[in-house]
Structure 1
Amino acid sequence: MKLMKSAALASVMMMALPVAAPAFAQESNYDLGNVWSASRINVLPGQFENYMDHLAGQWKKVNEFAKAEGMLVEYHVLSTNNARDGEPDLILVIEYKDYYSKAQQEAFNKKVNAMLASDDRSRTAESGARSSMRELMGSTEYQELVLK
């Protein structure tokens, strides 16, 4: 009988946890901030200047357009100093104001294609062609937690 009462009490307490969670969230010491994307790039031998030309050209143009459209806050090209084996040569960092809906992303993509006089197929082919200059080692996404 004692075991059944203990089990029932534990069950009631477990059910109460989800109800109590919003109260904890209201007392949080942070707010959700901007979203950051960091892409790790390994530049292939002899291709550094060519890849930097791409970044200073079309990549910068698209990011400046995104800033003007209010889609992103800032972007940076970071170089890894004293890289250890397996670390990227460059990290491309983009700071967005927020996550965007599929509709917002598609509308922005159409504007970029119009600006570049291209389409999704040609932009995908251009990205593939850059594999002769660089290897994308992966990307990570972060969300800033703004302390109150």
Structure 2
Amino acid sequence: MKMRFVSSLKIAGLATAIALAGCATTAIAQEPAAAAPAATAADDGYPLVGGDFWEITAIDLKPGGGLAYANHLATQWRAGQEFAKSKGWIKDYMVMSNYYNRAGEPDLYLISVIDHVPSGPEGEAQFVAYRAWAKSSAEKLQAESADRAEFREIMSNSLLQEMTFR
């Protein structure tokens, strides 16, 4: 799961850089009002400001797999999340149940909250530290994730940014 997290953050980091570059290009293309003083980020008139990032993994439980996966979440996943939290890599984590899920919708959502998307080198350093803590290799972690396919399927993975009002 951590490998997937780091990998998704690397991809998200690239997407974020592209999005921010697009915002900067748009801002540069707009001419400021002639008599208006230079605007600061806090008073530019835009009513929203970016906050924490939420990585959300949608999980479909296979028939009979609920208890096995719940045990995994309560032990290995939780321990890994607590380790990441102790290092300041994540701010919080949670498991949400899709109480009224319809056909084709996930049963669970695994959520990790972070305050920023790590750079490539930062994400790599986190993964190295995580592997050392887990006393595991990338190959073993990937094999363990594949083993969980017996009782769950990852339907999607999203990285959302909370937007708050100024």
In structure 2, the CA distance between the partners of 1:90 and 1:20, relative to structure 1 (3 Å rule), is: same
Q: Match of 2:30, SS?
A: helix
1:93 Cα deviation from its structure 2 partner: 1.1
Query: Of 154, 160, 165, which residue of structure 2 is paired with 1:136?
Result: 154
Question: Which residue number in structure 2 is paired with residue 51 of structure 1?
Answer: 69
Q: Match of 1:93, SS?
A: strand
Could you give the per-residue CA deviations for residues 38-70 of structure 1, whole angstroms, max 9, x where no partner exists?
111011111111001111111111111111111
- Unaligned residue ranges in structure 1 (runs of 5+): 1-15
Q: Distance in 2 between matches of 1:17 and 1:94?
A: 34
Q: Distance in 2 between matches of 1:30 and 1:142?
A: 15
1:30 Cα deviation from its structure 2 partner: 2.0
Q: Distance in 2 between matches of 1:20 and 1:45?
A: 59
1:83 Cα deviation from its structure 2 partner: 1.3
1:20 Cα deviation from its structure 2 partner: 3.0
Matches within 5 A, 1:21-40: 26-40=44-58
Q: Distance in 2 between matches of 1:67 and 1:134?
A: 25
Question: Which residue number in structure 1 is paired with residue 89 of structure 2?
Answer: 71
1:24 Cα deviation from its structure 2 partner: 9.9
Query: Of 118, 125, 139, which residue of structure 2 is paired with 1:100?
Result: 118
**Larger gyration radius, structure 1 or structure 2:** 1
Question: Which residue number in structure 1 is paired with residue 18 of structure 2?
Answer: none
Query: Of 30, 34, 54, which residue of structure 2 is paired with 1:19?
Result: 30
Q: Distance in 1 between matches of 2:105 and 2:61?
A: 11
Q: Distance in 2 between matches of 1:19 and 1:147?
A: 23
Query: What amino acid is the match of 1:104?
Result: E
Question: Which residue number in structure 2 is paired with residue 61 of structure 1?
Answer: 79
Relative to the length of structure 1, the TM-score reads 0.83
- Unaligned residue ranges in structure 2 (runs of 5+): 1-26, 33-37
Which shows bigger deviation, 75-84 or 26-35?
26-35
Question: Which residue number in structure 2 is paired with residue 85 of structure 1?
Answer: 103
Aligned residue-pair number: 133
1:124 aligns to 2:142 (yes or no) = yes
Q: Distance in 1 between matches of 2:77 and 2:28?
A: 47
Q: Distance in 1 between matches of 2:127 and 2:136?
A: 10
Extract structure 1 runs of 4+ deviating beyond 2 A.
19-27
Identity of aligned residues (%): 32
Relative to the length of structure 2, the TM-score reads 0.74
Q: Distance in 2 between matches of 1:82 and 1:145?
A: 26
Query: What amino acid is the match of 2:29?
Result: P
